[in-house]
Structure 1
Amino acid sequence: MTKRYIITLMAANRVGILSAVTTALAELGANLMEVSQTVLNRFFTIILDAEFPEHRTPEVIVAHLKDFCRPYGVEVDLKDPEQEQLQEMPADEVERFFLTVTGNDEPGLIRQISARISQEGIDISDLYARRQPDLSFVMVMELSVPYGIDVLQLKNDLESLCNREGLIVTLQHENIFAATNDPRPIRLLPVKSVHAIYAE
């Protein structure tokens, strides 16, 4: 029997942190199911979904990670999905869209956009946002949009919101996003995606 946990780790970025983290996990008998890692302002951050032998308790997992990664000063937090109230719509009840925003950086922009999106009961599945050295702003959101949402109206509302700040907004279905951003020739895309592209 196995048990899955969500673990987040953070530390000042140094070469070798990921190797230390994954080595510690291997010693615990963990199997990584999903990982997201990045460096933000010189800080290493990672969140992972890992499966452990059932006898590995949360206390043992956290203690071993902290001890093994002590030279890096890693902070560790662990969550048990079975102990949390999780909200997730069935995959067959939502469509994926990608929202892209570019332009001048404006304080409060993410707050305003996320507030409008939440009004429709739309889940933000993934987010990347960054202010560039020239003070311009770029953001990409992956949205899980329930069927029945007026996507065109949402797009118009977001454009009105962002155009006031001189920002450019693009809201695309995942198939269109893939067709315009995936470097592979269309003949190499999954058949389902190709059919959906031409159905748009």
Structure 2
Amino acid sequence: MSSFIISVTAADRVGIVYSVTGALLDLGGNVLELSQTVMRGYFTIILEAEFASSPATRQQIVDAIHERGRRFDLQVQVTEIKDGAEPVQVPSGERFILTVLGDDSPGIVHGIAGSLAAHGANIVDLHARVDGERFSLVMEALIPHDLTPAAIRSELERYGRAHKLEAFVQHENIFAATTEPSPVRIGAALRGQGDSVASN
């Protein structure tokens, strides 16, 4: 069995996710985790894929993705995950959601990341955007067990006051409880659309 972290970047076009995942499926790969976004017209995807029955090589994966996505001019980076090759460098902790909103200025992400790193908090997911003069950031971070949420909140509020920003900190469980999406039964929804069309 072999596992890889795979990242793909290209000018955004319809069908890239289908192409990349199809290439991995052809090699017998299973996608375990995936994150994808479009930024300023450029598509980027990063994912973990596992190959069980017939382990793939790094070059086979690169070649397969390029072959399937020839019309997209994909840039592909593949890194093999080597179990036990390196000791764990990042401590565990409680998972919190951090939100920052306010006026844009250079260095905000750098400053927030520095404040968290100084307290041993590890950023595991981050999305930031500037719209006009407004800055917004949503971050998922592991906060060490011996560090209180109040300490992180106080640090972010101190930084926020100096840069005209508002900061909010929520434990993952509270965030999930207040933003839990309701399930959508796709089959039923599609049937309903069909009935509506037929009656018109």
Q: Same fold (TM over 0.5)?
A: yes
Aligned CA-pair RMSD = 1.7
| TM-score relative to the length of structure 2 | 0.83
Identity rate of aligned residues, in percent? 39
Distance 1:41 1:142 in 2: 23
1:172 to 170, 173, 189: 170
Which ranges in structure 1 are unaligned for 5 or more consecutive residues?
Answer: 185-200
Map 1:126-137 onto structure 2 (within 5 A): 126-132=125-131, 134-137=132-135
Counterpart in the other structure of 2:122: 123
Distance 2:154 2:109 in 1: 17
Contact 2:2–2:81, Cα closer than 8 Å, also in 1: no
Distance 2:144 2:151 in 1: 14
What is the total number of aligned residue pairs between the two structures? Answer: 179
Q: Deviations 1:112-166 (Å, cap 9, x if unpaired)? A: 010010011111011011112x321110111111111133122112111111221
Deviation for aligned residue 1:175: 2.3
Secondary structure of 2:23's counterpart equals: helix
Map 1:1-200 onto structure 2 (within 5 A): 2-53=1-52, 54-82=54-82, 85=86, 86-90=88-92, 94-132=93-131, 134-182=132-180
Distance 1:124 1:111 in 2: 12
User: Cα 1:169–1:70, aligned 2, differ >3 Å: closer, same or farther?
Assistant: same
Deviation for aligned residue 1:183: 5.4
| TM-score relative to the length of structure 1 | 0.83
Secondary structure of 1:164's counterpart equals: helix
Deviation for aligned residue 1:179: 3.4
